[in-house]
Amino acid sequence: MKLFVGLGNPGAKYAHNRHNIGFMALDRIAADHGFPPWHGKFQGSMTEAPLGPDKVILLKPETFMNLSGQSVGEAMRYYKLTPAQVTVFHDEIDLAPAKLRCKTGGGHAGHNGLRSIHNHIGPDYHRVRMGVGHPGHKDAVPHYVLQDFPKADADWLEDVLRGVSDGVKDLVGGDTGRFLNAVARRVAPARSSISPAKPKPEPAQEMTSAAEEDTRTPLQKLMDRFK
């Protein structure tokens, strides 16, 4: 059994915030893979179903971001899970938009949702770090992550969410490489191998006039240079 946690804040006010990309990822997984309707449990919304090689619980804590660990810890205790069975999807300001990285263990880098989870279950869980970009100055971060994604980000955001859904069965099976490849194929699809060949450049035209056969004598050539 695996527990997949998406981080975000509850309510329509926050639904499209950068901070809620973890919620968005789980919503896409649930919709694409036929999970039952969400219902309230463990201070959050959850649903569960077989997915790939294992049964997966999807959990969106509704304690607000700073207390996410309360919900995660409660679910883990109920199902008797270890941190190694937990994967957290969260926004990552230290990655460019549309970039994803997988990580196990380590620090929380100031992310309040991860800080709370660290406090409740320790650091040894898995993470899917979903890049949203950095505002340029650390003082601007709180306002930045609580802003909605702009319309200009709609295309790459949709590609990332579709890629996460495409590769989620590989993630369940522990193959993070194939999972990340699935996302990459959506974000930067490979060029067709049957693309039309580039036209060959036209052959250079032969030089005429002075480049044509020169029948002047050496003396005539020398005299012509001083005309």
Question: What's the pLDDT at 53?
Answer: 87
Q: pTM surpassing 0.75? A: yes
Q: Which residues are catalytic?
A: 19
Q: Is 212 a member of any domain?
A: no
Q: In the predicted model, is pLDDT for residue 100 greater than 50?
A: yes
Reported as a single tens digit per residue, the pLDDT across 120-138 is: 999 999 999 999 999 999 8
Residue 91 belongs to a domain: yes
- Domains held by the chain: number: 1
Does any domain span residue 133? yes
Residue 199 in any domain: the answer is no
- In this prediction, residue 24 carries a pLDDT of 98
226 within some domain:
no
Q: Which domain holds residue 52?
A: 2-187
Residue 160 and residue 186 in contact, taking contact as beta carbons nearer than 8 Å: yes
In a domain, 207, yes or no: no
The CATH number that applies at residue 147 is 3.40.50.1470
**CA dist., res. 48 & res. 87, Å (int):** 14
For the cut 50, the answer to whether the pLDDT of residue 98 exceeds it is yes
Residue 20 in contact with residue 64, Cβ under 8 Å?
Answer: no
Domain membership flag for residue 221: no
Report the chain's mean pLDDT, rounded to a whole number: 89
